[in-house]
A = this chain, B = another copy of it.
Amino acid sequence: MLHAANLAEFSAVPVSHLSTSAVSASQDAYIRATRFERPTMVFDLEMLRRKYSALAEGLGTASIHYAVKANPAPQVIATLIAQGAKFDAASRGEIDLCLSLGAAPEDIAFGNTIKRASDIAHAWKMGIRQFAADAEDELFKIAENAPGARVILRMRIERSQADWPLSFKFGCSKREALRLMQLGSILGLDIAGISFHAGSQLREAGMWQDALDTAADLWSAAQDAGFALRILNIGGGFPAFYGQPVGNTRDYCAEVMASVRARFGDAVHVMAEPGRGLVAEAGVIVSEVMLVSKKDADDPLRWVYLDIGMFSGLAETIGEAIRYQIETDHDLCEAVEPSILAGPSCDSMDVLYEKTPVMLPAGLRAGDQVRILCTGAYTTSYSSVGFNGFPPLDAVFVG
């Protein structure tokens, strides 16, 4: 917990001031016209269309496979199909979802490196032709259940400049990748390329450099070993705004692509898998303050409890990694006060921001509405089925 002596540093960070432009006109109109009975995400499909266009312009010849896990709402998938997007599916469930909304099977890649054998067989039967792998046993499963399938090998990135460096859960070493290329060929698989994930929230295009260098090193070693790769999957990592500046989307993507082309040339087919970078900014969660309290007159900080928490949509606050920006209806000139922000459940883990409290209007009270910005990604789908008897996060679509 923060002590009184450390509070001074917060006085110059009136968070709500930074974010006033992030709610779109259609979201704002819907929010003003609605009386909310429970936390609700208001998602603007027109913002999504614009974001997709900006990404597509910047990424040029690359194909965009939307990472469905970021927000699997049928409205989001259908909008992206209409925009011409392709899809990165994590499971049989996501494949079936995309197919049911009209996505072509050849536009869906089964991107999870951990797959049930029967799900590989199902995907193959449905026409999915591209599968990810980073391990020997996964190649055996694919060879048996999707004979001759196109395989993208996932390599690991040893260092990362991302806000959230990913652990080694996914991806193998260079040496292992080369071994798997050989094994895959023996098994009759089409080892078509490599993929990586440079980390989440790569706020500057320069943060891709190390990962691209590592990929280029493996690519050239593969060529030397006689493997003619043709697909480079650069994964996700496209950022969203959580308080720290991120650049113009089109320019950012163009810069990433220039770095790719400088290393891999123009002939390589490039895939990108934006999730958060496509959908986060199009969503805003409308929430209600349940209680504001101090547990002792001498406590340095007050607690602000919302009707949404870690188990009803805001799981990305674990470790306080993602810092959502929060808007209120209070006057922007009102004094702000550092607040520990917590969810409504009877669970002591359900605290959103405590190590670094949030600056919120001093006059904030139970019943006030707050709007949690940039929450279109990794919220509704993380929501629990009903922890503490609270229903899952509701979502409505405008635009």
Contact = CB atoms under 8 A, between A and B. Distances in A.
Interface stretch (A4-12, A136-144, A264-272): A136-144
Interface stretch (A43-51, A88-96, A205-213): A88-96
Contacts of A171: 295
B293 A137 contact: yes
Contacts of A175: 296-297
A168 B1 contact: yes
Given A293-B136, A318-B318, A114 B390 contact: no
A391 B90 CA distance: 12
Contacts of A112: 344-346, 388
A391 B117 CA distance: 17
A303 B97 CA distance: 29
25 contacts: A68-B389, A69-B387, A91-B344, A91-B390, A93-B386, A93-B390, A114-B291, A115-B290, A116-B290, A135-B291, A135-B294, A135-B295, A137-B292, A138-B293, A141-B366, A156-B295, A168-B303, A169-B351, A173-B295, A175-B296, A176-B296, A176-B297, A381-B384, A381-B386, A384-B385
Given A351-B167, A385-B385, A90 B345 contact: yes
Given A1-B168, A176-B296, A69 B114 contact: no
Contacts of A113: 291
A22 B112 CA distance: 33
A348 interface: yes
Given A164-B348, A311-B315, 11 more contacts: A1-B167, A91-B389, A115-B291, A117-B367, A134-B293, A137-B291, A137-B292, A315-B384, A318-B318, A381-B385, A381-B387
Interface of A is mostly: loop
B346 A90 contact: yes
Interface residues of A, number: 80
Contact of A348 (B114, B166, B382): B166
A389 B344 contact: no
A383 B384 contact: yes
A322 to B, nearest CB: 11
A166 B91 CA distance: 36
A124 interface: no
A170 interface: yes
A176 B385 contact: no
A117 B307 CA distance: 12
Given A385-B385, A392-B385, A135 B293 contact: yes
Interface in A360-387: 365-367, 380-387
Given A93-B390, A167-B354, A114 B384 contact: no
- Centre residue among A90, A307, A365 by max chain B CB count within 10 A: A90
Nearest to A98: B389
B381 A305 contact: no
Contacts of A72: 386, 389
Q: What 3 pairs between A and B have smallest CB-CB spacing?
A: A93-B389, A135-B293, A94-B389
A203 B245 CA distance: 48
A172 B72 CA distance: 41
A305 B350 CA distance: 27
B388 A385 contact: no
